[in-house]
Amino acid sequence: MIQQTLVLIKPDGVARGLTGEIIKRFEQRGLKIVALKLVKIDNDLAKQHYTEDISKRLGEKVRNMLLNFITEGPIIAMIIEGVNAIENVRKIVGVTESKAALPGTIRGDFSHVSYSYADKKEIAIKNLVHASADETDAKNETALWFSIDEIFDYKRAGDEHIL
Ligand code: AMP
């Protein structure tokens, strides 16, 4: 099943000059970038991305830390397309807590901090990337971040060997 999913390279990833390295991980797997932009977002868009639901699940404090982090500098937003793209992308990214992320994943190769360390500093964990969690989030998030005319349908060289 071909899916589209939202990936954000968070301010830490852009500031550390890891955008090429991160994008490469998706491209080398044969996944296709169908939308991409560098943006610095305001609190309004951040709140639509990290919705009220996060406050209910994790508390207002965690949501505020996430909002502060995602708005602190430029980020890359992209839509990635491929067979089971949502699951495939999340595997490449690794689990949310950097400390627990396996080597070989983006978070496991380039970050290491724990929730408890981040909580003590009252900051969001700098885990480099956001990737939509499931089909519902992917649908909502791709529509939130990109208009239809920013999403491209094209053939990638090598598609005939991959798809
Ligand atoms: P993401 O959806 O990948 O952008 O990451 C947001 C998720 O990171 C939240 O839903 C939380 O589960 C988690 N998170 C990030 N920082 C913290 C923190 N300091 N304490 C607890 N959870 C955190």
Q: What are phi and psi of 131, to 5 degrees?
A: -135, 135
Say how many Å lie between the CA of residue 29 and the centre of ligand 1: 26
pLDDT in tens, 90-141: 999 999 999 999 999 999 999 999 999 999 999 999 999 999 999 999 999 9
User: Percent of the chain beyond pLDDT 70?
Assistant: 100
β-sheet with 129-131: strand ranges across? 32-39, 75-83, 2-9, 129-131
Q: Where are the domains of the chain?
A: 2-149
pTM, full prediction: 0.96
pLDDT in tens, 74-86: 999 999 999 999 9
Does the annotation count 49 as an active-site position?
no
What is the per-residue pLDDT for 98?
98
Question: Phi/psi class of residue 40: alpha, beta or left (left: φ > 0; alpha: ψ in -120 to 50)?
Answer: beta
For residue 58, list its beta bridge partners.
none
Domain 2-149 homologous superfamily, CATH: Nucleoside diphosphate kinase-like domain (3.30.70.141)
Say how many Å lie between the CA of residue 42 and the centre of ligand 1: 19
Report which residue type is found at 91.
K
Cβ pair 98, 107 in contact under 8 A = yes
Find how far residue 32's CA is from the centre of its chain.
15
